[in-house]
A and B are shown apart, each in its own frame.
Chain A
Amino acid sequence: MDSAERIQAAAKFLLQSPPGEINDVLNDVRNIISDDDSLQEGVLPALQEYNLAQFIIADVPGSEHQSIISEAAKVDGEEDRFLDPRSKTSFRFDHLSLEASDPQPMEPDTEPEPFRAALESSTLTYLNSHFHEGVASVFATPGSPSKFTVQIVANKYNPTNFWAGRWRSAYTIDLEQEVVSGKILVNVHYYEQGNVQLETTHNLTIPLPPAITPSSPSTSAPKLVALIEDEEGKYQTSLNDAYTEMSEKTFKALRRALPLTRSKIDWDRVMGYKLGAELSASKGVFGESQ
């Protein structure tokens, strides 16, 4: 395997990192590849891809809140620069150290801003009432004033008890097409003397009721977020049902807790049966020969 192929393999490992474990995976990969110079250069695109896809959060310089690093947050034409629409600030983000720097004020487009701001305010209220440690960002779409993106991420890392979890949801709201399309992704890793992972994907499309219009941000935004809240609540309940189904049906169908006899196996009898079967089989042979 040549150096380029090794870096490519390393990049693939990084992209599979469970929530909050990218540094552990990176450490392992460093040891395995043992070529820091080409690794550092080579895996940067993978780290970037990972951070954007996983909605990694950044401490916005000069503000008290955090924002989401994602494709929607990317500032056009500038490498590694991301937007926090809430503070109207753009900043440089280091994909290795996960640090934000060099804040710059960024004026939003005036046309979509009232609706975006209303959507942001409703989203933050929703976030606060259902997520324990969530971060949300709401973006306008350059060039499409009736399109918005709502992104939510919640992480819990507990390495001392060997578990970690991440909830991501993302919605594209199209006021012109009157539709919200989105996805919810949940990842959980439990790794005490083992490696168990929950991975879920959930895609949804919700038609918008006529009461939601671009011209009435203050009444439309809460209604819109209420639709999302309702769908996410329903999803969490359905996830519970999936758990029950897997535990009550699939798990039991794979292996019983005890045999049909409701008692453990009598191993002397298991060996005895075989012995008995062999004896009667040989008797049969003798019987025929007589």
Chain B
Amino acid sequence: MTDLVDSMLDLMRRLPPTRVEENVAALVNICPDYADDLLGSVDQPLTLKTDRATGREYLACDYNRDGESYRSPWSNEYDPPLDDGTVPTPKLRQLEIKANEAFDTYREMYFEGGVSSVFLWDLDDGGFAGVVLFKKSLSPSATTEPSGSWDSIHVFEAAERGRQAHYKLTSTIMLELVTRSASSSSSNAEKQDNGNGKEGTKTSGDVSLSGSMTRQTEQDCPVQNQESHVTNMGRMIEEMEIKMRNLLQEVYFGKTRDVVYDLRSVESLERQRRQRELQKELVGFMKR
């Protein structure tokens, strides 16, 4: 019944992104049989964990989960510990270590903070797949300061074909921005001079922009050695994040704002209508 999963995914595309965790949990409760399908196809905000062995932070998601435990990319250990937890083959683990180092450099250069994690796994057909994760949050020092978070989830598959490799990349970026405001204008009250010592206009509120966007791409790249996979994926992910950052900028600060102006106009529409009428009259007058 793929139909049912389609309905669940359509629903998740409509409900508020700020409540994705709560809603996914509710759907899993309604249809426990489809839990894996749902958890595998709906991206949820990444959670921060601390590696017990190294004390270093890493990111947890469905891709490094085994049962109730999560694997750290730094120590390769599961938390809570698992005796038989799935780990990459030694060769792939070597690549995973190099990828974690490289994408940690990338993280520092673009995010100047935050946490990154890379997880790889072997595929049955001889290739491998992986996920590259970044998360950065801004916690405001005051309630009126803006807060926000950025979560990147780049899932890829690599298939070697001789001296080439074919890569498939699916990237999701979750972005949340919140601004709170509060003001009270006493000057207004003075101007109004209502004489009964009442306070002026008071306002408070918040603006929240949140959501996620997903894009896919495929590419063939030359492979000299194992490390080529890291440089190839690095370039692809960098290219994709640059493209998606522009897209997010356009949708978050362009499209949604345009819709607000489609609802209400700051300028008087009546005045605009009159101006158009006047213009028409003038054109008609000049034609005569």
Contacts and interface: CB of A to CB of B under 8 A. Distances in A.
Nearest to B29: A1
Interface in B171-206: 175, 177, 179, 181, 189, 192, 194-196, 198-206
Nearest to B213: A194
A196 B210 contact: yes
A250 B256 CA distance: 17
Contacts of A201: 205-206
Interface in A143-194: 154-156, 163-167, 178-179, 184, 186, 188-191, 193-194
B286 interface: no
- Which of B19, B175, B199 has the largest number of chain A CB atoms within 10 A? B175
B266 to A, nearest CB: 5
Contacts of A24: 10, 14
Contacts of B227: 271
A246 B146 contact: yes
A276 to B, nearest CB: 12
B263 A202 contact: no
B259 A156 contact: yes
Interface string B211-250: 1111100000000000100110011001001100100110
Interface stretch (B62-70, B98-106, B120-128, B161-169): B98-106
Interface stretch (B1-9, B52-60, B72-80): B1-9
Query: What size tier do the contact residues of chain B reach?
Result: 35 or more
27 contacts: A9-B29, A12-B26, A28-B7, A32-B11, A129-B268, A130-B269, A178-B198, A179-B198, A191-B13, A193-B213, A193-B215, A194-B213, A194-B214, A196-B210, A196-B212, A196-B252, A197-B16, A202-B203, A210-B194, A242-B181, A246-B207, A246-B209, A250-B147, A254-B136, A255-B111, A260-B109, A265-B238
Interface of B: 3-4, 7-8, 10-19, 23, 26-27, 29-31, 98, 101-102, 105-106, 109-112, 136, 138, 146-150, 175, 177, 179, 181, 189, 192, 194-196, 198-215, 227, 230-231, 234-235, 238, 241-242, 245, 248-249, 251-253, 255-257, 259-260, 262-266, 268-271
